[in-house]
């Protein structure tokens, strides 16, 4: 369950930031890059801040 939520949040952040880059300001692409870098970091280190947040909110695996 937690993996699905993490993926949904990451995907939503990417899509929202792309829309903001197109309709508001191109600098929103930096947020897209930040999300991508965090996904890459979590794949290497096996640590994800969003998983820690979800765990503290009581979401089960």
State the 10-residue block means of pLDDT for the chain, 61 residues long: 91 97 98 96 94 92 80
What's the pLDDT at 61?
80
What's the pLDDT at 59?
92
Q: Residue with structure tokens 């990451």?
A: 10
Residue 2, phi then psi, degrees to nearest 5:
-65, -40
What's the pLDDT at 22?
98
Helix ranges, the chain (H): 2-23, 29-45, 49-56
pTM: 0.84
What's the pLDDT at 60?
85
What's the pLDDT at 12?
97
Cβ pair 59, 15 in contact under 8 A:
no
């Amino acid at each position: 369950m937690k993996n699905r939520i993490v993926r949904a949040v990451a995907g939503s952040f990417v899509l929202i930031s792309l829309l903001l880059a197109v309709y508001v300001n191109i600098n929103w692409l930096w947020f897209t890059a930040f999300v991508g870098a965090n996904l890459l970091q979590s794949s290497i280190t096996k640590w994800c801040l969003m998983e820690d947040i979800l765990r503290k909110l009581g979401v089960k695996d």
